[in-house]
Structure 1
Amino acid sequence: MKSLHRNVWILGCVSLLTDFGTKMIQSILPLFLVSVLGANLITVGLIEGIAEATASVVKIFSGVLSDYWGRRKELAIAGYGLSALVIPFFVLANHPIWILIARFGDRFGKGLRVAPRNALIADVTPAGQRGAAFGLRQSLDTIGAFAGPLVAIILMYSTGQNYRLIFAIAFIPGFLSILLLIVGIQEPRQAISQKQSPWQWNNFKQLKKEYWTLLLVALVFNLANFSDAFLILRANQVGISQSLIPLSLVIMNLTYSLSSYPFGLLSDRMGRTKILSIGLLLFALVYLGFAFANNPLQIWVLFGVYGLHLGLSQGVLLALVTDYTPSALRGTAFGLMSLVIGLALLPASGLAGLLWQFVNPQAPFLVGSLLAIASMVILLLIPNNTREDNVKR
């Protein structure tokens, strides 16, 4: 772990701080909208839908721009900075429209930073360390993802549900993340010297066939990867009380955080597609478990195993994108991957809702399990020699 480039560590810590503050806000924002601002659930859903769609679309543009401009650090600073600068809108909001503006700005910032950040990691990481590098960043990111809501819960109890104070406190880690990014990150020379003209078809033709296969894997899989809200609803249906529901997400993120780096390191040694295939299979089994679980203990275990699936797949997928992409097109490749994932997630939750309402609560999980198996089969279509060489290039 010590041999990883300093940029990997710094970007991991930046992600930790940013997610800490962001998840503090997100974990209580629906309650604030409904109980303080008087919004209905349709409004809450509309705000979240617009916000997430925004992030999905912006990612492809930021990735292409980072390749053309050759300055990934500035785009990352702009993305993280925007997410921090809109936090005062949450503090001062007296109408749902201000929350919409704030969430739009936050997700726009996320869309702006993700592809350049991933490309920054890829630019400084040798092939044999890519799994470890992306796994480490993902682990640090997830520490913030489960610590933020825990702190928010504590502050809710200790401040008498002072939402605005909690939103204001969330600005502190956001500000620190920008400062760390500005001071700590060094732009690698190769990212500056190889400028690509944006939106030329020849650029996309340079992406390997294996990359396009991986893109199809991500598309099919994420049609199954519907919102965690359905996992929560299923947990409550099986018998976990509403007061304990937040702990299920803490367990999931804890196992996710603890497993991302070890599995990323393992992918450097035994091949990434093997690890990713195991992750997809585990997802299919977890969804089968959610379909047939009939007591709370089973649900607690399934949330923990779901975190292991995330550890097996998320960082490894990013490392595979790097393996199959020319260095001058990494931003484009990461942006396109993020766009495909985001666009697949939009109909995924709608399909899950329809299946839940018009068939039964088990149906979305069964369909999701089948789609995960299908994505695993597509992944195995990548030629054996390519898969075996992943860690050697």
Structure 2
Amino acid sequence: MAGSALGIFIVYMLLSKANGNFDYKTLFAISIIPGVIGLVILLFVKEKKEHREIKREPFWKNAKNLDGNLKLYLVVTFIFTLGNSSNAFLILRAKSMGLTDANVIFLYFIYNLSAALFSVPFGNLSDKFGRKKILVSGYITFALVYFGFAVVSNTGVLFILFIMYGLYTAMTAGVERALISEISPVCLKGTMLGLQATIVGFALLPASVIAGLLWNAYGAQAPFIFGAVLSLLAAFLLIILMNRNHQQPLKN
């Protein structure tokens, strides 16, 4: 997140100095440079190889034996993601309020900076108080932010909303992966993380399509209200249905 914030800040500086005349193709070309540098550095990373004898089977063969909390959380993830449309809608909302491209990019920088600053503190809190409490707080924060985007009329309030959106990201991005790892079978941790990412991927496309249709049919407020409601539903499911105690994970 810190890298994203720095990259976006550089974009903001370039756009500000160009007074709106900056070529976006050049901007994307410049962004290739740090990507290539990161790839080169990665080539020097040595991975520690562990030789373990693990019987590999398709996870669906033992799906009925998976932890009930794990299966529930995968459902919650899908429900929440259906309302979590692309960040492009947040940018479009800010742009529709008359902000310049540079100012919109600055707000997105504020979001990334907020997420970077608070990710470790909220990760520590999840270690101390439990993953579910932080995730529920994150979903509720998301709902508040989306309700805010639905009714906002003051550009100054947008600044606060983007900070809060960063808080939501800090509360959920790492914590949800930690939760998946903890309640997954020992021999399927990577697979379950991949499955969760797959579910998110399947939900993201219709999420943005639904948001676009709602925006066109009912106005800019509609997709944000829709996302806020689904987020509160996801928080409710975690609070009411997801138990603290879970089954013993499948053994290797």
TM range (shorter): 0.7 to 0.9
Gap regions ≥5 residues in structure 2: 247-252
2:90 is equivalent to residue 231 of structure 1? yes
Match of 1:343 in 2: 202
Which segment is superposed worse, 213-222 or 149-158? 149-158
SS at match of 2:199: helix
Structure 2 CA distance for aligned equivalents of residues 364 and 275 of structure 1: 25
Output one character per residue of 1:9-29: Cα deviation in whole Å (capped at 9) or x when no partner.
xxxxxxxxxxxxxxxxxxxxx
8 Å Cα contact 1:152-1:166 kept in structure 2: no
Match of 2:141 in 1: 282
Match of 2:242 in 1: 382
In the TM superposition, residue 332 of structure 1 has moved relative to its aligned partner by 0.8
CA 1:202/1:166 → structure 2, altered by over 3 Å: closer, same or farther? closer
Q: Sequence identity of aligned pairs in percent?
A: 37
The 5 A counterparts of 1:201-350 are 201-350=60-209
Which segment is superposed worse, 323-332 or 364-373? 323-332
Structure 2 CA distance for aligned equivalents of residues 154 and 161 of structure 1: 14
2:45 is equivalent to residue 184 of structure 1? yes
CA 1:268/1:281 → structure 2, altered by over 3 Å: closer, same or farther? same
Structure 1 CA distance for aligned equivalents of residues 211 and 159 of structure 2: 21
For residue 262 of structure 1, what is the amino acid of its counterpart?
Answer: P
CA 1:186/1:202 → structure 2, altered by over 3 Å: closer, same or farther? same
SS at match of 1:195: coil
8 Å Cα contact 1:293-1:299 kept in structure 2: yes
Structure 2 CA distance for aligned equivalents of residues 213 and 203 of structure 1: 16
The 5 A counterparts of 1:96-175 are 142-154=1-13, 161=23, 163=25, 167=29, 169-175=30-36
8 Å Cα contact 1:203-1:329 kept in structure 2: no
Quote the RMSD (CA, aligned, Å): 2.4
8 Å Cα contact 2:11-2:27 kept in structure 1: no
In the TM superposition, residue 143 of structure 1 has moved relative to its aligned partner by 1.2
Gap regions ≥5 residues in structure 1: 1-141, 387-393
8 Å Cα contact 1:195-1:328 kept in structure 2: yes
Output one character per residue of 1:60-110: Cα deviation in whole Å (capped at 9) or x when no partner.
xxxxxxxxxxxxxxxxxxxxxxxxxxxxxxxxxxxxxxxxxxxxxxxxxxx
Match of 2:249 in 1: none
In the TM superposition, residue 204 of structure 1 has moved relative to its aligned partner by 3.6
Q: Which has the higher contact order (CA 8 A, sep 6+)?
A: 2
In the TM superposition, residue 197 of structure 1 has moved relative to its aligned partner by 2.7
8 Å Cα contact 2:12-2:102 kept in structure 1: no
The total of aligned residue pairs comes to: 242
The 5 A counterparts of 1:86-105 are none
For residue 54 of structure 2, what is the amino acid of its counterpart?
Answer: K
8 Å Cα contact 1:239-1:295 kept in structure 2: no
In the TM superposition, residue 242 of structure 1 has moved relative to its aligned partner by 3.2
8 Å Cα contact 1:155-1:166 kept in structure 2: no
For residue 186 of structure 1, what is the amino acid of its counterpart?
Answer: E
In the TM superposition, residue 155 of structure 1 has moved relative to its aligned partner by 5.3
SS at match of 1:385: coil
For residue 226 of structure 2, what is the amino acid of its counterpart?
Answer: V
Structure 1 CA distance for aligned equivalents of residues 94 and 146 of structure 2: 12
In the TM superposition, residue 206 of structure 1 has moved relative to its aligned partner by 4.8
CA 1:258/1:374 → structure 2, altered by over 3 Å: closer, same or farther? same
Which segment is superposed worse, 228-237 or 258-267? 228-237
SS at match of 1:256: helix
Match of 2:231 in 1: 372
TM-score, structure 1 normalization: 0.57
Structure 2 CA distance for aligned equivalents of residues 223 and 162 of structure 1: 30
**Consecutive aligned runs of 4 or more in structure 1 exceeding 6 Å deviation:** none
Output one character per residue of 1:318-350: Cα deviation in whole Å (capped at 9) or x when no partner.
000000112321121011100100111101111
Structure 2 CA distance for aligned equivalents of residues 361 and 151 of structure 1: 29
CA 1:219/1:148 → structure 2, altered by over 3 Å: closer, same or farther? same
Structure 2 CA distance for aligned equivalents of residues 214 and 239 of structure 1: 39
Q: Which has the higher helix share?
A: 1
In the TM superposition, residue 233 of structure 1 has moved relative to its aligned partner by 1.9
8 Å Cα contact 1:223-1:347 kept in structure 2: yes
Output one character per residue of 1:164-201: Cα deviation in whole Å (capped at 9) or x when no partner.
5862x544433443344343343252xx4143435353
